[in-house]
A = this chain, B = another copy of it.
Amino acid sequence: MKVSDIARALPAEVIGDALLEVARVVHPADAEGPGDLAIAMTKEAAAAAGGCAAGVLVVAPDGPRPDDRTLLVYGGEPRFALAILTALFDPGPVHGDGVHASAVVADDATVGEGASVGANAVVGPGSAVGAGTAILSNVTVGAGVTIGRDCTIHPGVAIGDRVSIGDRVRIFANATIGADGFGFIPASPGLASTGRAAVPDGAPVRIHSLGTVVIGDDVEIGAGTSIDRSTLRETRIGNGTKIDNQVQIGHNVVIGESCVICGKVGIAGSVTIGDRVVLAAGVGISDHVVIGADAVVAAMSGVSRGVKAGTTVLGIPAAPRDLWRQA
């Protein structure tokens, strides 16, 4: 990609060779030659730039400007530069075109234009894979599933029957969408048999999951994360919400838009979470709790009561910081 193209995307002012071809975005310490671009926006990085072999540097407007390199002068925050540059240079996972010969796609399933289904992947009856979507190897898509456009479904992901997934969704490896919810009640004489299977004396009796999961647009779902289907309705993940690895989301949960749910969070059944909520790593939320928009829950907290919109809570049980100080 040419320096001029990068300048347009950031946007940034070019000082030097706007036609230089950039091959990689690298950490300054890893730069090896003129095709490497590094971000040197802090004073420290700019000062150390003399020892950096990158042919192109992204620098701040008010910092030192090494005169031996092509510079991109960027007025935004360094992390914005990093977001934009890494997006520009992300090749995405390598995959083939179309349906691989070893994939098993049901006769009545549809695969959109430019979509791909990888080696040994399975797409069940009545399912639809949107245009431009990449189903990678060893993925299982159940029956009656809808997947939107330009999604990436990584290896080993299991998507259960009737699940609906929006556009531009990324699901990382070995995540599970649409397992049955974990709803059980103690056995009782009135529950001796439901006609499907004898209930062992004293064993918990399942409330079955007839519902599904609906994932909005621009959602990301991390590796090993599981999102259970609803009992009767829909477990919902709103547009733009980002979910990290090994998160557990129970049945009937409704999560708003643009939330950030960090690694190892556990959300029990029937929780409702507003827009733009941040759940830091390792948080647990008890069933039926309501968390208002723009709330923040600190890492490893346990939330057993509702959280008001816009508040930050922490601890087990989670409470506003002031309450913890008083205690």
Contacts and interface: CB of A to CB of B under 8 A. Distances in A.
Interface in A81-119: 82-84, 86-90, 93-94, 100, 102, 104, 118-119
Contacts of A202: 240, 257-258, 275-276
A169 to B, nearest CB: 11
Copies of this chain, tallied across the complex:
3
Contacts of A300: 284, 302, 316
A185 to B, nearest CB: 5
A47 interface: no
A94 B182 contact: no
A281 B268 contact: yes
Interface string A194-219: 11110010111111111000000110
B245 A228 contact: yes
A73 interface: no
Chain A interface residue count: which class? 35 or more
A270 interface: no
Given A182-B262, A228-B245, A87 B143 contact: no
Nearest to A177: B173
B94 A104 contact: no
Contact of A90 (B100, B170, B208): B208
A102 to B, nearest CB: 5
Interface in A159-173: 160-161, 168, 170, 172-173
Contact of A83 (B83, B195, B207, B281): B207
A168 B194 contact: no
Q: Which of A30, A137, A150, A242 is most buried by chain B, counting CB atoms within 10 A of its CB?
A: A137
Nearest to A178: B173
A260 B124 contact: no
A236 interface: no
Nearest to A75: B190
26 contacts: A80-B185, A80-B188, A80-B191, A86-B206, A86-B231, A87-B208, A89-B208, A94-B161, A138-B138, A138-B139, A138-B140, A174-B176, A174-B226, A176-B224, A179-B245, A182-B262, A182-B263, A184-B242, A200-B258, A203-B258, A228-B245, A245-B248, A246-B246, A264-B266, A268-B281, A282-B302
The 8 closest A-B pairs by CB, nearest first: A203-B240, A86-B208, A158-B173, A140-B155, A94-B143, A104-B119, A176-B223, A90-B208
